[in-house]
Amino acid sequence: MTIKGRDMQRQDDSRVPVIEDRGARGCCFQVKVTPGARRNHVGGLQAGALKVSVTQVAERGKANQYVLALLADSLQLKKNQLELISGETARVKKIACAGLSAEELRLKLLGLME
């Protein structure tokens, strides 16, 4: 499926978020963040976005840094492979993932959901 000139992953598997293929720049996906949670957790879907809960409160971008660190650890990636590209002050954020194809990211996310 193509949206605005970009290829989107076919959502054959409803257990993972929609992954946007960015070609040589990697891929990206959406997360729905719950700051100030009781525990740090990655898992589940809500409206096509991966649910991420962090204990850090949303204050001056601190929760965003925790989200990136938690995702990097959960997906076994380096922190510098993940970048927040939109939604800095919103609960729904778009995360870019460098160095992985959409299929590689899909497989890593499937591993998280099991």
Residue span of the structural domain in which 39 resides: 2-113
pTM of the complete model: 0.84
- Over the stretch 69-82, which tens digit does the pLDDT of each residue have? 999 999 999 999 99
Number of separate domains in the chain: 1
Percent of the chain with pLDDT over 90: 67
CATH for 32 = 3.30.1200.10
pLDDT band at 13 (very low <50, low <70, confident <90, very high): low
pLDDT top residue among 16 and 96? 96
**Whose structure tokens read 């990206």?**
28
Q: 93: closest CA among 63, 73, 59?
A: 63
- Over the stretch 22-70, which tens digit does the pLDDT of each residue have? 988 899 999 999 999 999 999 889 888 999 999 999 888 899 999 999 9
